[in-house]
A and B are shown apart, each in its own frame.
Chain A
Amino acid sequence: EPEVTQTPSHQVTQMGQEVILRCVPISNHLYFYWYRQILGQKVEFLVSFYNNEISEKSEIFDDQFSVERPDGSNFTLKIRSTKLEDSAMYFCASSEQGTEQFFGPGTRLTVL
């Protein structure tokens, strides 16, 4: 069964460093998303992406964040200068028609 994959599973970085989180969505899906979940809290929407552009972003998704679909299969989230409060689980999700979303296993980001 096709699934969303994410790499790395765990990323440790120093505050101020740039990180890139990678996702491979399900191949025939057209809608892509990033969410994050701070430990013990609810899952929060970051950004949605469709037709090679951002379709919606939350107030969390400020200028430090960017997304890219560089090669038709990968979908990346970049954080330019990480802060301590960026420590969270980051989930990529994809959807064929924009309704059901299938999540990847997540990347745990730890900012020291």
Chain B
Amino acid sequence: AQTVTQSQPEMSVQEAETVTLSCTYDTSENNYYLFWYKQPPSRQMILVIRQEAYKQQNATENRFSVNFQKAAKSFSLKISDSQLGDTAMYFCAFPKIKAAGNKLTFGGGTRVLVKP
């Protein structure tokens, strides 16, 4: 069974500073995708960033970037220049590879609080 582990239940960061969220996963697959989703207090799930395992270059999306270590099965998210609107739960997600479906397995989430 696939597992996704987020070891930090909660983190706080000062506005404009940087915070890094960790995620580890377990899989026997070689080609796959990894995702980070943001869930603000409204509880909507918003896709933040994705990483394709066959790409060595780490994905970047504006202030969000990942550090993908395939051998270590680690997929951390860095939020730079944190803004108050970044306050949310962040979930790492990993799809089960299947011909049609690719259900996502989510980690337990990390609550990020950005302080003014």
Residues of A within 8 A of B (CB): 31, 33, 35, 37, 42-45, 48, 50-51, 55-56, 58, 89, 91, 93, 95, 98-106, 108
Contacts and interface: CB of A to CB of B under 8 A. Distances in A.
B47 A102 contact: yes
24 contacts: A31-B102, A35-B104, A37-B43, A42-B108, A43-B91, A43-B93, A45-B105, A48-B100, A48-B102, A48-B103, A50-B100, A50-B101, A89-B43, A93-B45, A98-B98, A99-B33, A99-B50, A99-B95, A102-B47, A103-B37, A103-B44, A103-B45, A106-B44, A108-B43
A112 to B, nearest CB: 20
B101 A98 contact: yes
B107 to A, nearest CB: 7
Interface of B: 33, 35, 37, 42-47, 50, 91, 93, 95-96, 98, 100-109
Interface centre among B33, B35, B47, B101 (most CB of A within 10 A): B101
Given A55-B98, A99-B33, A99-B102, 13 more contacts: A37-B43, A42-B91, A43-B45, A45-B103, A45-B105, A50-B100, A55-B100, A95-B102, A100-B50, A101-B102, A101-B104, A104-B44, A105-B44
A45 B104 contact: yes
Contacts of B47: 100-103
A21 B106 CA distance: 22
Contact of B102 (A44, A98, A105, A108): A98
B94 to A, nearest CB: 11
The 6 closest A-B pairs by CB, nearest first: A103-B45, A48-B101, A50-B100, A55-B101, A45-B103, A43-B106
Contact of A105 (B33, B42, B93, B100): B42
A55 B95 CA distance: 14
